[in-house]
Amino acid sequence: MELTFLAGASLVAALIVLLIGYITFRRAYRVAAPNEALVITGRAPARVKGGDIDLESGTRIVVGSRAFVRPLFDRAHSVSLSSRQINVEVESQSVDGIFLRLQAVAQVKIGEEVGEIRKAAQRFLDQQDKIDSYSQEILSGALRAVVGTLTVTAVLQDRTTFALKVQENAVDSMNNQGLVIDTLQIISVADDGDYLRNLGRPEASKKEQEARIAESEARRTSTEAENRDSQKIAESQKELDLRNATIAKETAEQRAEAEAAQELARSRQRQQVLDEQQKIADQENDLRERELVREIRKPADAQEYAAGRQADAERYAREQESKAALIEAQNEAESVRARGVAEADATRAKGEADAASIQANAEAYQQFNEAAVLSQVLEALPGIAREIAAPMSNIDSLSIVSSDGESKLSQNVSAGMARTMESVQSATGLDIKSLIESALSGRDRSETVANVASQVDAEPEATDVPSEKPAE
């Protein structure tokens, strides 16, 4: 068991040692990036002839390569070789006394040479962010110095030369710090007044005039060329149209001739076909005629003969039937005549009897006096009262709203009869009321009226009067 524990402890220790060794190796093995320079220090400086110490020999510079940094003995420092954009704005006076404002942009970086990297590391290793401000100051001074030696025209017309002079003026100061200027461009040049604007106006006016003249000349030349081209195009189009018209005419004539020839050939072919069809039709007609003679005419002749014989037989039968019908009609006419004479005699006898009856009634009516007429009227009054009261028999339940009670029904019937007698008087001229009054003169009027009223009242009682319901 102790052996197992020792073996495990040894394995863990070995793993720890390997891990420490791997971490140490990873930290000691350094590879420089493309935009980076490694400054490795820690080696002892070498001595040169004369006993002096070479301080640079103790520093190694690694650019775009790899190096092994000894743990506990060496230290590696990173220096960026990336380009930096420096914006420069200065105000300076030119040699001809014009105050100018200039803007420029420069691309500055640490040089790629070992010596330049060593100089930059000695000056900016711990303050690389100060490179921008330092470069800006150097370039501003160089820009002022160069502007003071040039005229405004030189600055404006040859900016490339101006930028090169600024670089030449600043290159020594930059190189002493391990810095190099990749590019320098003048962005703008301005002044406080209108000097720069007026400076270019004569030249601008001249150029504008030349441009207008050149433009006018070019427009005139272009117009003339266009006109000539248009004329040539029109002439060419005319020739083309004439040629197309000639070709179209010839084509139309040839097409018409071809169509006429084709139509003539088709007409001849159709005529030949018609002739052949006519011959075939004639042959078919002859054949059909012979077939009709065989199939129709001969059977028709036989049928005609048979029809004639049948018609003779039917005619004879009809003649016989007509004779029999004539004899029967004559017998029927004699019978009808006899019945008519008998019916006429009976009708005449009946009419004579009716006439005698009517004559007797008329003579009897002429002999009627007022008493007989009154008797007939009194016989008719109950029927009239019955017809007046008939609508009440169709009423199931009747409510009378009156203080008179049931006597109102009799009064209504009496009123209806009075209106009926008035209607008879207006239609026939017979005054039933006057007739009754004249018949009752000399007698007890009250007794007669009571008798008449009793007769009138007796008739409604015989009819079916609906049950009366007192008004609520």
Q: Could you read off the pLDDT of 135-145 as tens digits, one per residue?
A: 999 999 999 88
Mean pLDDT of 384-405: 63
Q: How high is the pLDDT of residue 472? A: 35
Number of residues in the chain: 472
Q: Which domain holds residue 8?
A: 1-81
Mean pLDDT of 58-83: 80
- Residue 398 located in a structural domain: yes
Q: What value does the mean pLDDT of the chain take?
A: 76
| Nearby residues of 381 by Cβ (< 8 Å), 6 or more positions away | 417, 452, 455, 456
β-bridge pairing 36-41 and 467-470: unpaired
Check if the beta carbon of residue 59 is closer than 8 Å to that of residue 139: no
d(CA 199, CA 98): 12
Last residue of a domain, one of 81, 111, 136: 81
- Residue 448 located in a structural domain: yes
Q: How high is the pLDDT of residue 467? A: 41
pLDDT tens for residues 441-463?
A: 645 444 444 454 444 344 444 33
Check if the beta carbon of residue 40 is closer than 8 Å to that of residue 65: no
- Residue 19 located in a structural domain: yes
- Residue 402 located in a structural domain: yes
- Residue 361 located in a structural domain: no
- Residue 40 located in a structural domain: yes
pLDDT tens for residues 204-216?
A: 677 778 888 888 8
Q: How high is the pLDDT of residue 468? A: 40
If you search the block for the tokens 């803007």, which residue do you land on? Answer: 103
Judged against a pLDDT cut of 60, whether residue 15 lies above it is answered with yes
Last residue of a domain, one of 13, 48, 81: 81
Judged against a pLDDT cut of 60, whether residue 292 lies above it is answered with yes
- Name which of 197-201, 308-312, 320-324, 337-341 the model is least confident about: 197-201
Mean pLDDT of 269-293: 85
pLDDT band at residue 87, thresholds of 50, 70 and 90? very high
- Residue 229 located in a structural domain: no
Range among 247-261, 284-298, 416-430, 456-470 rated most confident = 247-261
Q: How high is the pLDDT of residue 105? A: 92
Q: How high is the pLDDT of residue 55? A: 46
d(CA 90, CA 203): 28
pTM surpassing 0.75? no
Judged against a pLDDT cut of 80, whether residue 365 lies above it is answered with no
- Name which of 122-126, 217-221, 340-344 the model is least confident about: 340-344
Question: Both tokens of residue 28?
Answer: 């000691």
Judged against a pLDDT cut of 60, whether residue 91 lies above it is answered with yes
- Residue 431 located in a structural domain: yes
The total of structural domains in the chain comes to 2
Mean pLDDT of 424-436: 70
Last residue of a domain, one of 81, 113, 135: 81
Mean pLDDT of 394-421: 64
Q: How high is the pLDDT of residue 340? A: 72
Q: How high is the pLDDT of residue 469? A: 42
Check if the beta carbon of residue 162 is closer than 8 Å to that of residue 88: no
If you search the block for the tokens 């117009």, which residue do you land on? Answer: 223
| Nearby residues of 457 by Cβ (< 8 Å), 6 or more positions away | 410
